[in-house]
Amino acid sequence: MTVKRAERSVLATPGSHPLMIAKALAGDADLVMIDLEDAVAPEAKIAARANVAAALRDGDWRGRPRVFRINALDTPWFVHDLVEVIAAAPGMVDIIVIPKVSRAEDVVTVATIISSLETATTTRAPIGLEAQIESGAGLANCEAIATAHPRLEALVFGPGDYAASVGMPLSAIGMPDRWDTDYPGHRWDYPLQRILVAARAAGVRAIDGPYADFRDHEGFRTSCQTARALGYDGKWCIHPAQVPIANEVFTPDAAESAWAEEIIAANLEAEREGRGSFALNGQMVDAATLRMAHATLARTQRTTG
């Protein structure tokens, strides 16, 4: 179930704080993700389900998909997160984020439970899924995870839990630290590249994970630019101040859009003249260049409506 829409910024907000949920919904994030997992203390998880359901039913989502994250499959809260929230907000759930997905069967399990729950309520459309790749096992199986079920819409990188899983020393989630100077390259390059390729091969979105220091705007911008340079669609945000930066970085700028439009216009002229590849502004333009131009315009259209 591939959905062609923008997901430049995903603002995570704890399901245990209704005021924070309302503030998140009032902002400009492409997606607001109400969390029942890491952002909620264990003793507050059960009560938080009612907050999540109320926000899904009554919140002003302004046309955006209604999204929440469940707890992982190996926790005591997982099944009840699905059953209680979907039952309390019938037909008002669009996307569920699954954390710590380690194998394709995890996605199938959640999808099967959702299918059963959907038969008991009126749904606007089948509930979509986003799978977080947060472990060595998840990365090793990310290609199978990406194609596990038609409900799957995106793969999301989780740098903090991934680092813990593989034994990577890390002092803050998604941020550079002293260990980065000891490695001759970008320490996140392999998981980012592999998740991206798996997502693109399956026709789903690829979303980068969070950056812990919400006061470090330039550091967050750099992290966004790295993900955008690879081809990612967007990035998770942990604070509203990060949202405008993500939206800006993951939207093609005027120069990118103008280049794409010029390439496509010049190609139409070349086709009328019976030419294949041609030169434009001192550079050769061929079918691959044209595909890049169309991809740029498609991203522009998704992000600007």
Position 144 confidence tier, pLDDT thresholds 50, 70, 90: very high
Length of the chain: 305
Q: Does 188 or 25 have the greater pLDDT score?
A: 25
- Tell me how far apart the alpha carbons of residues 221 and 219 are, in angstroms, rounded to a whole number: 5
Average pLDDT over residues 75-92: 96
The answer to whether 272 touches 238, Cβ cutoff 8 Å, is no
pTM > 0.85: yes or no: yes
Contact 242, 209 (CB under 8 A): no
The domain segmentation of the chain, as residue ranges, is 9-249, 254-304
The CA distance from 76 to 79, in Å, is: 8
pLDDT at site 175 = 64
What lies within 8 Å, CB to CB, of 284 at 6+ separation is 277, 278
Q: Which of 32-41, 269-278, 292-301 has the highest mean pLDDT?
A: 32-41
CATH code of domain 9-249: 3.20.20.60
pLDDT of the residue at 119: 85
pLDDT single digits (tens) 259-294 = 677 777 777 777 777 776 677 777 777 677 777 777
